Amino acid sequence: MTPVLAYIGIGANLETPRVRVLEALEALAGLPHTRLLRQSSLYRSPPMGPVDQPDYINAVAELETRLAPAALLQALLELERRHGRVRDGERWGPRTLDLDILLYGDRIIDEPHLTVPHSGMQARAFVLYPLAEIAPDLWIPDLGALEGLLARCPRNGLERLVEESG
């Protein structure tokens, strides 16, 4: 299979979320038939949905992968499970790790368990701003230029975290 650029959204807000996101980036680099090309800075964002939960730590990774979309999704679900993610049906609730396929090349996928581009990404600052950091000139199928999406998406409390030196 020809390599495809895929963008993965990463988020966590339980059990040392900063560490969880960094571990997820490392794990993404170790996926079979996949290379981690770029990663955004870490960002802190207020929770989407129930407000009685901690802030999230978010990032976006750019992968070059030979995995088919369904195989990539299964690999991400397995990484979530290994990091203690329990899918209990609660939408937008707290989680140890959340991995989403945001984009898979220029493909549009609408299947029961996978929608690409990721639904709602055009209104989510915690996706768009980290994505723009690593791929500012990106064209998103069915949505248009990332730059235009950013212009219509307020930060809503999103904060880029400064890397700790040492």
- Total domains, the chain: 1
From 98, 124, 137, 142, active-site residue: 98
Active site residue 66: no
Domain contains 165 = no
Active site residue 152: no
Active site residue 106: no
By residue count, the chain amounts to 166
Domain contains 166 = no
The tokens for 165 are 């030196």
| Host domain of residue 110 | 4-160
For the entire predicted model, the pTM comes to 0.93
Whether residue 36 is predicted with pLDDT greater than 90 in this model: the reply is: yes
From 82, 95, 142, 155, active-site residue: 95
- CA-CA distance, 67 to 75, in Å (whole number)? 9
Instruction: Indicate the pLDDT class of residue 88, thresholds 50, 70 and 90.
Output: low
Q: What is the pLDDT of residue 166?
A: 44
The strand pairing partners of 101, in sequence order, are 8
Q: For position 141, which CATH number holds?
A: 3.30.70.560
Domain contains 148 = yes
Active site residue 98: yes
Instruction: Indicate the pLDDT class of residue 91, thresholds 50, 70 and 90.
Output: low
